[in-house]
Amino acid sequence: MADVAIVSAGQSVFTRSCGESIRELAFEAFKEALEGLDITTGDIDASIICSAPEYDKQRSPAGLISEYLELTPKPSFYVETVCSSSSTGLRVAWSLVKSGLHKMVAVIGFQKMSELSSRDAAERMGRGADIIWESPFGLTMPAGYAMYAQAHMDKYGTTEEHLAKVRVKNSHYGATNPKATYRKELSLEDILNSEVITSPLKKFDCCANADGSSCIIVARGDVAKGITDKPIWIVGLGAATDTMTMAGRELLTGLKCAQEAARQAYKMARLKPQDIDVAEVHDCFTVSEILAYEDLGFAKPGEGVGLIEDKETYADGTIPVNVDGGLLSKGHPIGATGGSQIRTIVRQLRGEATEAQVKGAEIGLVHNIGGIGQYGNVTILRR
């Protein structure tokens, strides 16, 4: 059973309106991923295309994109777990390579959200919840995570200021990220004084819709070593699914899918939370990052706010988190997000994250959530 490595990663600029077709958008990330590699599209055995449906008119985008990227007649597969689609794609790619069925696979995530109004996009996202018992009654993404925020505040005394400090950090790093949608540093007052979206979440507590793409190229260990002198090894994979209905959840102060995925990933990698040097977590809302601190074991339940208060999740802290600006600054093109997070960790472990490099980073973690905590993927990478 061969080891599996990431040989390259690419990403488009995330933007509110790209002005491109989805095939052109996917090409942007694919092009960056191929830069500097002595391979051709013919060397890629299979492609996995990842997005959430209903944001553009194209059905079966895998065939369209694989044709445009000259990956045919090699097989192409379509993978969807809402916002965690491209990290699920990486898991599938790892499995295809590990099984011996393929030796090199491209995982391409994309989303073009600008074809819809914000209202229509929110309605599509709402349909990621139960369309009979929950979404018709107003369970949008902000409403769902607002319930998590309220539960965390009620149980642990978390405040709106704690949430805002997450955005302060992520805007600080987003301001230096040339791929981010929002490159403006925000003050605590800017965030606390922004309009309420769904109490206690305000405008700047929420990430924004975006157009974007990402690409991860995965290869069998011996093949990877022949392509790059900086392979990044996939050492831990965890995945879990919680109930679709919020009413069926055991917990509203953490995400069970993330906790279980983290347990699996740490076990597979034979590592513990304290071994992680740098992390990317799914901060679709400010509360989401605090929940992730606790779900991943970086802090005990209720103590995640201490990490942001003490700036331990800044680049020079004990556990740097989202030092590329996170979803809050980069934007959230659903199918591309997980791949973007993985690209950030690949760059960190290679010492190439010039905007905010974590010194000596050898082990990185990616936490990618689909929907309002339905799907959880945790991936651990090693230099």
The DSSP element (H or E) to which 235 belongs, if any, is strand 232-241
Q: How far apart are CA 20 and CA 123, in angstroms?
A: 23
Residue 267 CB coordination number (10 Å): 11
Task: Fill in the DSSP letter of residue 209.
Answer: B
Task: Fill in the DSSP letter of residue 99.
Answer: T
Residue 67 CB coordination number (10 Å): 13
Q: How far is CA 10 from CA 55, 337, 340, in A?
A: 22, 12, 8
Q: Which residues are catalytic?
A: 83, 332
Tell me if 46 sits within 8 A of 77, measured CB to CB.
yes
Q: How far is CA 241 from CA 81, 120, 251, 252, in A?
A: 10, 26, 14, 15
DSSP H helical ranges for 246-315 = 256-269, 286-295, 304-309
Distance of CA 32 to the CA centre of its chain: 18
Q: How far apart are CA 176 and CA 355, in angstroms?
A: 6
